[in-house]
Amino acid sequence: MSTVVTPGLFSQVEVKVSKKTPYLMGVFALVVLGAFGIFGKTETVAFQWSKEDDVIKLPDFLVASNLVGIVLGVALVAIAAVSFVLALRGTKTPLWLTLVFGLSAVIALLAWLAAGNSLPFAFILGNAVVLAVPLALGAMGGIMSERVGVVNIAIEGQLLTGAFLAAVVGTLTHNLYLGLVAAMIGAALLSMVLAAFAIVYLVDQIIVGVVLNVLVLGITNFIYAQWLTQDGLNTNFPGTFPIMPIPGLSAIPIIGPALFESRITTYLAYIIIPVLWFILFKTRRGLRARAVGEHPLAADTVGINVARTRFWWVTIGGLVAGLGGAALTIGAVGAFGRNMSGGQGFIALAVVILGRWHPFSASAAALLFGFSIVLRIWANQVNPGIPTDFITMVPYVVTLIAVVGFVGRVRAPAADGQPYIKG
């Protein structure tokens, strides 16, 4: 197809920045100020920064719930005003400002929910990280696949495969590391099927992804019902990886226990994410991979083997996603349950888009979602008066808002989803 581009020598027009962001911010700011501040609860919230067994313990921070709401509400209104002014001047609101906004709104929400109770900050942060790991790893697998132009809807299936194999193989062999390896290989094999269908058989990539998810769900459900429930002790009782605190780093107050007192699956994620960034943007292989995802024909004409590049990146992406799946079982709760991934593969896909196909941004987005899942668990315990069913929906609503609100601004790899057919 022609890539004729209009010459960049036309006269420029001043850009009008949409006021969507400031308006949305304004609405949320007023909601926070009103619901959590002015009409908020008066009970005291105890912000618990440290856990019992921390090396350095910080004292709890006690504050009235509505005070937090008012202070943060005012701050949010200020940020919304700044965003509005920026829009008038033709500048888009910087991403960091939006993140500060989001974070403040969330803290106000937490303060409201925890009125009269304590807010176990360290616990929440720690769990948010643990819950974000499968999402982040799934997203890394998705990024690897989509950067070379293969849409990967099958992240859900990869996570499920990983979770299943990690639990079962781990139990059968009494060796969690073998379970981990099996999980990665299993998900990689699934990726190979996706790659084969997309690259060799030229099937619509989205359909293959959906079909693979259905297939994995069917197979794991069958084996679970037929076998695992009958004989759980021998087949589905792997336990979990031990928690391995990193000496020194885990003593840092607040973030130390959250980030550095984890299992090996989390630590592997810490390594994989920056390594992927490096490979993708700083190395020759990464340049070629991105070329394949943007313009496979151009890559072919300089001698890059498009099919092979796509195949290997998708497959290795599967390895990473499989690790994410293992994190769901042996990296968290242990045994496998029906439909263990429960839609997290699709949240991972949203993470890929929100993170603009970039490892670091995607990880940040994964953390946001991990946080929303923790919120669901914790809010239930605290019993704040919102029906549990609505709390359950929070991660999905957040995903929806994120995808709907932000998608317009991002640009996928140009050849994402298009099969490459040679003459």
Partner 1 sequence: MKLELRGITKRFGALVANDHIDLVVKSGEIHSLLGENGAGKSTLMNVLYGLYSADEGEILLDDVVQNFKGPGDAMAAGIGMVHQHFMLIPVFTVAENVVLGHEPTGALDTLDLEAARKLVREISDRFGFDIDPDALVEDLPVGAQQRVEIIKALARDAKVLVLDEPTAVLTPQETDELMAIMKGLAKAGTSIVFITHKLREVQEVADRITVIRLGAVVGDAKPTDSASTLATMMVGRAVDLDVKKHSPKKGDAGLTVTNLTVVGDRHNKVVDDVSFTVHAGEVLAIAGVQGNGQTELAEALVGLREVTGGQIILGKLDITDSTVREVIDAGVGYIPEDRSKDGLVGDFTIAENFMVNRSYGPPFAKGLSIDFANRARIAEDLITEYDVRTPSQTTLAKQLSGGNQQKVVVARELSRDLNLLIASQPTRGVDVGSIEFIHERIIATRDAGKPVVIISTELDEVSALADRIAVMYRGKIVGIVDATTSRETLGRMMAGATV
Partner 2 sequence: MNNAAETPVVNRGNAVLKEILSGGATRALLSVLLGFVVGAIFMVFSNEAFLTAAQYFTARPTDSLAAAWTAIADGYSALFRGSIYNYAADDIVVAFRPLTETLRFAGPLIASGLGIALAFRVGLFNIGASGQLLFGALWATWISTRVSLPWGVHLIVAALVAILASAAYAAVVGFLKARTGAHEVIVTIMMNYIAAGILTYFFRTPELLREVDGGGTPKSDAPAETAQLPYLLGDQYTLHWGFILAIVGVFAYWWIMERSTMGYRFRMVGHNADAARTAGINVERTFMIAMAVSGAFVGLAAVNQALGARAGMTPDIDGTIGFDAITVALLGSSTAPGVLLAGLLFGAFKAGAPAMQVIGLSPEITGVVQGFIVLFIAAPPLVRAIFRLPPPQKSTVVADWWRSLVTKGGRK
Closest CA to 109 of 374, 396, 406, 362: 374
Report which of 113, 107, 112 is spatially closest to residue 76, judged by C-alpha positions.
107
With CB under 8 A as the contact rule, the residue among 60, 204, 294, 300 that binds partner 2 is 204
Q: Which does 93 bind (CB under 5 to 8 A by kind): partner 2, partner 1, none?
A: none
Bridge pairing between strands 244-245 and 118-120: unpaired
Pairing of strands 44-48, 118-120: parallel
> What does the binding site for partner 1 look like in residue numbers (CB under 8 A)?
1-15, 282-285, 287-288, 290-291, 294-295, 297-305, 414, 422-423
Closest CA to 120 of 375, 370, 365: 375
Among 139, 168, 176, 208, binds partner 2 (CB under 8 A): 208
Question: Smaller CB distance to partner 1: residue 260 or 420?
Answer: 420
What is the closest distance, in whole angstroms, from the C-beta atom of residue 90 to partner 1 in the complex?
10
We find the least distance from the C-beta atom of residue 160 to partner 2, in angstroms, to be 13
Q: Which is nearer to partner 1, 41 or 288 (CB)?
A: 288
Question: Is residue 405 part of the contact set for partner 2 (CB under 8 A)?
Answer: yes
- State the binding partner of 399 from partner 1, partner 2, none, CB within 5 to 8 A by kind: partner 2
**In the complex, least distance from residue 86 CB atom to partner 1, rounded to whole angstroms:** 17
**Binder to partner 2 among 56, 200, 246, 249 (CB under 8 A)?**
200
Residue 407 partner contact from partner 1, partner 2, none using kind-dependent CB cut-offs of 5 to 8 Å: partner 2
With CB under 5 to 8 Å by kind, the binding choice for 299 among partner 1, partner 2, none is: partner 1
The residues that bridge with 64 in the sheet, in sequence order, are 44
Interface size with partner 2, residues (CB under 8 A): 44
For residues 137 to 156, the per-residue mask of contacts with partner 2, x marking binding by CB under 8 A and - elsewhere, is ----------------x---
Q: Tell me which residue has tokens 């979770």.
A: 163
Q: What does 242 interact with, of partner 1, partner 2, none (CB < 5 to 8 A by kind)?
A: none
Write down the residue that tokens 């914790």 correspond to: 378
Q: According to the binding rule CB under 8 A, does residue 396 interact with partner 2?
A: yes
The single residue listed with the structure tokens 């060796």 is: 175
Task: Pick between residue 277 and residue 346 the one whose CB is nearest to partner 1.
Answer: 277
Figure out which of the listed residues 242, 387, 411, 421 binds partner 2, where binding follows CB under 8 A: 387
Residue list 266-325, contact with partner 2 (CB under 8 A): none
C-alpha distances in Å from residue 306, one per residue of 13, 199, 203, 237, 263: 39, 9, 16, 43, 37
Helices 344-354 and 359-382 pack at an angle, to 10 degrees, of 130
Toward partner 2, which CB reaches closer, 55 or 207? 207
In whole angstroms, what is the distance from residue 25 CA to residue 347 CA?
A: 24
| CA gap 209, 204 in Å, rounded | 9
Q: Indicate whether 389 belongs to the interface with partner 2 (CB under 8 A).
A: yes
Residue 400 binding: pick among partner 1, partner 2, none (C-beta 5-8 Å cut-off by kind) = partner 2
Residue 52 binding target from partner 2, partner 1, none, CB below 5 to 8 Å by type:
none
Minimum distance between the CB of residue 139 and partner 1, rounded to whole angstroms?
Answer: 21
Residue 239's region, left for phi above 0, alpha for psi from -120 to 50, else beta, is left
The answer to whether the CB of 243 falls within 8 A of the CB of 261 is: yes
DSSP 146-163: HHTT---TTHHHHHHHHH
Determine, following the binding rule CB under 8 A, whether residue 215 of this chain makes contact with partner 2: yes
Query: Which structure tokens are listed for 287?
Result: 């340049």
Q: How far is the CB of 18 from partner 1 (least distance, A)?
A: 13
Look up tokens 């076998």; give the residue: 227
Cβ contacts of residue 204 below 8 Å, gap of 6+?
Answer: none
| Residue in 101, 96, 99 with CA at minimum distance from that of residue 79 | 101
Contact (CB, 8 A) for 156 and 346: yes
For binding to partner 2 (CB under 8 A), which residues are involved? 153, 197, 200-204, 206-208, 210-212, 214-215, 217-219, 221-227, 343, 346, 349-350, 353, 387, 389-390, 392-393, 396-397, 399-400, 403-405, 407-408
